[in-house]
Structure 1
Amino acid sequence: MTTTRSHPDLRRYASPDDIEPTFTVYQEAIRGTAARVYGPDQVEAWAGPRSTDLKDWDARRRRALTLVAEVDDTVVGFTDLLPDGLVDMLFVHPRAGGRGIARALLTAIMREARERHIPELHTFASRSAQPAFERLGFTLVAHRPKNTVRGVVVPNGEMRRRL
């Protein structure tokens, strides 16, 4: 993956074309970026199998407002917004990190939430994602040290931001 431009193009998730690219970003972000702050067993539990039936993955993206970030026609990130204001996913490919992709995605989600009259956003952010959320005004309201994924403890934090 080469990312030469710094500003991503944002668009809505398009099934079926975005199924594999977004799943790849999810896997790579956990196995790359999140692996800096979580142990190998936590990373494997969270990421799950590399090869899986992606019907459920696609259905989840289609039920949410999913925005996809592209740089040079390559998917480099995505985020989901649910009707109750939950930012369910925010993932950026590790090779595109530090280029404002998360900021662009979250800024667009906040704009969409305001248009939908959602008064507050909330998320359950990983240790690696918390700084990105904090930079955009989210506040940590609860540590979740016992959050469990596939039987393995993967701590995260509940964060909120009033709009």
Structure 2
Amino acid sequence: MKIRRYKPGEEIQLMEVFVSSVRENAANYYNREQLQAWAPNSIDREEWKNKMHRINPFVILDNDKILGYADLQSSGYIDHFFVRGGYSGRGIGKQLMNFLLQKAKKKDITELSSDVSLAAQPFFKNFGFKTIRSKKVEVRGVELENALMRKDMLTNGN
């Protein structure tokens, strides 16, 4: 598998990864209404394209198929971290997170943070992220639970 920056034109593939990740990988943690609000049937493609351009994620590929993607902002914030539905538990997220941790070290980022879904919290904890606070957020009029998680790169930078 290979990790590289996303390329303009791959936004629809990233949207497919996002939707399948939410609907399949998070299905045991959120109800149908919550999943639909988080990953609706119709996502504004122009808005999505602009978001992907703004966060400039890394993608992990097997041949030419994008199996996951994640970003790392200069502040240390991880806005998106998604593995294609049906591919969790295969080490894809682990490779992607290790890649982000290496990037953070090279950029001397001292703290990572992310708003993490219930489904992804155990995964983030395995990489030394600690829950700062659990919270409820409203997405398209529906309440979802997640948590702000942080990782101190100086004391447990792995």
Report the TM-score, using the length of structure 1 for normalisation. 0.88
Per the alignment, residue 28 of structure 1 pairs with 20
1-structure distance, mates of 2:152, 2:30: 29
The RMSD of aligned alpha carbons is: 1.3
Report the TM-score, using the length of structure 2 for normalisation. 0.91
2:134 corresponds to 1:157: no
2-structure distance, mates of 1:72, 1:96: 15
1-structure distance, mates of 2:56, 2:110: 16
Aligned residues: 153
2:70 corresponds to 1:75: no
Per the alignment, residue 4 of structure 1 pairs with none
Instruction: Say whether the 8 Å CA contact 2:24–2:86 is kept in structure 1.
Output: no
> What are the ranges of 5 or more consecutive residues in structure 2 without an aligned counterpart?
154-158
Per the alignment, residue 85 of structure 1 pairs with 76
Letter in 2 for 1:35: A
Q: Which of 109, 131, 134 is equivalent to 2:125?
A: 134
1-structure distance, mates of 2:132, 2:115: 10
2:11 corresponds to 1:10: no
The 3-state SS of whatever aligns with 1:117 is coil
Instruction: Say whether the 8 Å CA contact 1:61–1:80 is kept in structure 2.
Output: no
> What are the ranges of 5 or more consecutive residues in structure 1 without an aligned counterpart?
1-7
2-structure distance, mates of 1:30, 1:85: 23
- CA drift at 1:114: 1.8
Per the alignment, residue 116 of structure 2 pairs with 125
1:67-96 per-residue CA deviation (whole Å, 9 max, x = no partner) reads 101113211100011221111011111221
